[in-house]
Amino acid sequence: MGYVKRKARIPRKKIKYKERLFLYIKYNFTCAMCNDYYEPPKNYDGRVTVSKGTGRILEIDHIIPISKGGADELFNKQVLCCMCNRRKYTKILYG
């Protein structure tokens, strides 16, 4: 039996809470795909993810995935809810 060679995972830098807060404010705590609004907690500082009572959370996603040659920089990130982020997977979607 042969071994299947797996692709090496591309290391990503952890997003800083100030960058997370900047993106949440830029997108007005709204998913970029489905436009669902997520109410931020009072005195929100970006240290945790924002969630709805349904268990769905807002996630930071790469517009052009790293695997497709996208940069791991702020200009290549957007805010998506977890459902839309799973649906998008590694596709590149344009406005």
Please list the rounded mean pLDDT of every run of 10 residues in the chain (95 residues).
Answer: 64 82 92 89 77 77 88 91 86 67
Supply the pLDDT for residue 14: 82
Supply the pLDDT for residue 16: 87
Report the chain's terminal Cα–Cα distance, integer Å: 46
Conformation bin of residue 43: beta by default, left when phi > 0, alpha when psi is -120 to 50: left
Rounded CA-CA distance 89/86 in Å is 5
Identify which of 28, 9, 18 has the alpha carbon closest to the alpha carbon of residue 66.
Answer: 9
Contact 65, 37 (CB under 8 A): no
